Amino acid sequence: MRNKMIPYNLYVSVTNTNDIGQEVKDWELVKEINVRVEFNSMSKASDDIRYIDCQYIGVSDYKGLDLDKEYKIEKEGISYLIKSINEWSRYSFYLLERVI
């Protein structure tokens, strides 16, 4: 399992205030973690051949994500939002959604 993991940058969502007092959502780099990303499922519109929702599973040996925060992983311009986190076993499992 570990030999199929590749490094991704892990980001956490933070809310900052800009110069005029508006809240702005931004991504802050946490660290580089090793993740194996695999395709899980998709759904498509019934009257169209375009896929509208693809989900992926991520497996990592990194632990310690806060369930109350929003995270994403990114590598070479490909980003995945972490929709749910399961850290109950030896590895962490993430349900991912590709960001386009």
Q: Cβ contacts of residue 12 below 8 Å, gap of 6+?
A: 27, 28, 30, 69, 70, 71
Indicate the pLDDT class of residue 10, thresholds 50, 70 and 90.
Answer: very high
**How confident is the model at residue 17, as a pLDDT?**
87
* Dist. CA 46–CA 64, nearest whole Å: 40
At 40-90, the pLDDT tens digits run 776 665 555 554 567 899 999 999 999 899 999 999 999 999 999 999 889
| Bigger pLDDT: 28 vs 46 | 28
**How confident is the model at residue 52, as a pLDDT?**
56
**How confident is the model at residue 92, as a pLDDT?**
94
Q: Cβ contacts of residue 81 below 8 Å, gap of 6+?
A: 70, 71, 72, 96, 97, 99
